Amino acid sequence: MISKFLLKGKLGLAPAESPRRVLDLGTGTGIWAIEFAEENPDSEVLGTDLSPIQPDYLPPNCRFEIDDVDDDWVYSHKFDYIHGRYLLPFIKRKWSSFFKTVYDNLNPGGWIESQETIIYFQSVDGSIDGTALQRWNALLLQGIRKMGRSATEALRCKYYLAEAGFVNLGEKKFAVPMNNWAKGKDEKAIGAMQMVNNLEGIDGLTMTVFTRALGWTPADVEKLLVDVKRDMKDRSIHAYITIIVAWGQKPS
């Protein structure tokens, strides 16, 4: 898991010590919630998602529910730690409203942590200039904006936390190589993992955005993706993306 590799084996950076009740928003396969429950047997961990794709075998202190983060929150209790990963771009409500809801559902002293991948490829040496990858990325960002969302707004996550009233704010940004072009054992390893993530997710994302927002035909999308995937594997293109982790605490 690339996130755990980046965080040096940790599941999060917020200093949430022995949280009694934990909520994992947009839990997906549930891997974060399960691992957190295993590492923190005194915590009660709830993972929520629209899709019931989590495994049946779980730690006794972990459970999952089908829920939409955009709906009204009607939990029977408040939480001590709320975690979300790769979530914000898919939220339909305004982010200020979302973080206010998180704030209202935390106990005093509780923590929020958000981790997001910024789908904006850059290079420090200009090697991305003029590539199919750069053209695709610009069109993707344009299409996402036309759909009323932003692929880069998560860079302002700390601002939204402060606006909602959180204190003791923290933020860390990671420059993640697109593939294993970077020097160093760890950099090559994380670049290889990121390339797999990129190649696994690019088809569905591109087809959705380009056909719905930009009016492309599926055939034209597939033709472009041949060149983009080639660029993503090209070690002479020294591109990277940013992963950001931000956290804050509700005042006691």
pLDDT digits (tens, 9 = 90+) for 42-61: 999 999 999 888 999 999 99
219 pLDDT higher than 90: yes
Measured distance CA(245)–CA(237) in Å, rounded: 26
pLDDT tens per residue, range 112-132: 999 999 999 999 999 999 999
Nearest Cα to Cα of residue 69 among 53, 45, 86, 44: 86
pLDDT tens per residue, range 93-109: 899 999 999 999 999 99
88 pLDDT higher than 90: no
Instruction: Kindly indicate the confidence band of residue 216, based on its pLDDT and cuts at 50, 70 and 90.
Output: very high
Say whether 26 sits in a helix, a strand or coil: coil
21's CB contacts (< 8 A; 6+ apart) are 43, 44, 46, 77, 78, 79, 80, 81, 107
1 pLDDT higher than 80: no
Q: Tell me, what's the pLDDT at 227?
A: 98
Instruction: Kindly indicate the confidence band of residue 184, based on its pLDDT and cuts at 50, 70 and 90.
Output: very high
Instruction: Kindly indicate the confidence band of residue 3, based on its pLDDT and cuts at 50, 70 and 90.
Output: confident
DSSP designation for 105: T
The residue that leads in pLDDT, 170 or 51, is: 170
Q: Tell me, what's the pLDDT at 195?
A: 97
Say whether 20 sits in a helix, a strand or coil: coil
Q: Tell me, what's the pLDDT at 150?
A: 87
Instruction: Kindly indicate the confidence band of residue 149, based on its pLDDT and cuts at 50, 70 and 90.
Output: confident
**List of long-range contacts for 187-191, beta carbons under 8 Å, 24+ apart:** 189/5, 190/2, 190/5, 190/6
Nearest Cα to Cα of residue 205 among 155, 123, 137, 157: 137
